[in-house]
């Protein structure tokens, strides 16, 4: 058992979270082979199989589920003790893990780079993904999401940049279609459908002078990734609905034409959020101080 240690237990939890040796290996910075050997040694020392493996799937065995239930709170206590110890350091050092949407990751990236320049003993693991995760259960220190998606039991710190939506289309599309002047004039069958991380299809929200409108896009293409939607709209596939920063350069260059700008007012900014900590690490405290400094500037 001593051969696997804390890293082996963390490996078990990572595989259990992801349901995949490959995804867990990427998270842990190991090769899949090394991770498999670690789990094999742990299983051999325990005398039970923790995971059922096939060529297509990985799942916890009965013994594995019981094992994970027992070690999860124990590891949380160990990490809390480590955070307490680190909080005594004067110089920030160690790893800070941040989970964010792609757009939020882009917004926080300059602050992360400034933080790494100022504190050379710090590392940052910035993970961007569409799904909204439980940052505590998945081992993140901080999350960044739109303010209305921040869990209520978290401490939230609004970031300074307000967000906006942008409705855009290619110049070629406008050559053969009339320009809509309000949401009711949008040709719904030419509006690309956007699938949200929870699987639902976005209803395009509009607002003007206190009037709120939502439309159901009925285009033939449904996407869940902004870069694919952008490429489709540039290719003339129809009208797209984006977070403004995803297409700002295209609008500025004329590659895309913005529609209904007066119907897309600013929306809530992103918020950085985290659970309450009794003994935050020096690195965690320094990063929050830097974010607050950016907000004031």
Residue spans of the domains in the chain: they are: 5-83, 94-161+269-296, 165-263
pLDDT in tens, 144-165: 998 888 888 899 998 887 788 9
Per-residue pLDDT 10s for the chain (297 aa) are 444 578 888 889 999 988 889 888 888 888 888 898 889 889 888 889 999 988 778 899 999 999 999 988 888 888 777 777 766 666 888 899 999 988 889 889 999 999 999 999 999 999 998 788 889 888 899 999 988 888 888 999 988 877 889 999 999 999 999 999 999 999 999 999 998 877 889 999 999 998 999 999 999 999 988 899 999 999 999 999 998 988 999 999 999 999 999 999 887 788 999 998 767 888 999 999 999 887 665
Per CATH, 5-83 and 94-161+269-296 having the same topology is answered no
d(CA 37, CA 55): 17
d(CA 80, CA 100): 23
CA-angle at 113, arms to 271 and 154, nearest 5°: 25
CATH number for the region 94-161+269-296 comes to 3.40.190.10
d(CA 71, CA 77): 10
pLDDT in tens, 214-261: 999 999 999 988 899 999 999 999 999 998 988 999 999 999 999 999
d(CA 257, CA 166): 10
Number of C-beta neighbours around residue 179 at 10 A: 10
Chosen CATH of 5-83 out of 1.10.730.10, 1.10.10.10, 3.30.565.10, 3.20.20.70: 1.10.10.10
Which single residue is written with the structure tokens 């004329």? 254
Closest Cα to residue 15, out of 30, 130, 47? 30
- The DSSP bridge pattern shows strands 155-158 and 94-100 to be unpaired
Please name the fold of domain 165-263.
D-Maltodextrin-Binding Protein; domain 2 (3.40.190)
d(CA 215, CA 11): 45
Instruction: Tell me the pLDDT of the chain averaged across its residues.
Output: 89
Residues counted in the chain: 297
Q: Are 21 and 36 in contact (CB under 8 A)?
A: yes
- CA 181 vs. chain centroid, Å, equals 34
């Amino acid at each position: 058992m001593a051969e696997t240690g804390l890293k082996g237990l963390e490996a078990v939890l990572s595989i259990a979270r992801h349901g995949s040796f490959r995804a867990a290996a990427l998270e842990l910075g190991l090769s899949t082979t090394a991770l498999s050997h670690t789990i094999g040694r742990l299983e051999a020392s325990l005398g039970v199989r923790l995971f059922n493996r096939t060529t297509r799937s990985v799942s916890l065995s009965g013994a594995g589920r019981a094992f994970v239930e027992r070690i999860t709170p124990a590891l949380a206590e160990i990490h809390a003790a480590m955070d307490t110890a680190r909080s005594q350091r004067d110089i920030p050092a160690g790893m800070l893990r941040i989970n964010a949407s792609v757009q939020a990751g882009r917004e926080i990236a300059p602050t992360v780079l400034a933080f790494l320049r100022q504190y050379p003993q710090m590392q940052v693991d910035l993970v961007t993904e569409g799904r909204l995760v439980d940052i505590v259960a998945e081992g993140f220190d901080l999350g960044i999401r739109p303010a209305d998606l921040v869990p209520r039991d978290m401490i939230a710190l609004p970031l300074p940049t307000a967000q906006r939506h942008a409705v855009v289309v290619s110049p070629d599309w406008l050559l053969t279609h009339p320009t809509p002047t309000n949401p009711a004039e949008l040709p719904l069958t030419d509006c690309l459908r956007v699938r949200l991380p929870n699987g639902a299809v976005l209803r395009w929200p509009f607002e003007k002078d206190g009037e709120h409108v939502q439309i159901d896009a009925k285009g033939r293409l449904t996407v869940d990734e902004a870069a694919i939607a952008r490429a489709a709209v540039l290719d003339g596939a129809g009208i797209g609905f984006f977070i403004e920063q995803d297409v700002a350069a295209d609008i500025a260059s004329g590659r895309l034409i913005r529609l209904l700008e007066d119907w897309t007012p600013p929306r809530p900014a992103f918020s950085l959020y985290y659970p309450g900590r009794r003994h935050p690490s020096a690195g965690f405290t320094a990063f929050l101080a830097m974010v607050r400094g950016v907000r004031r500037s």
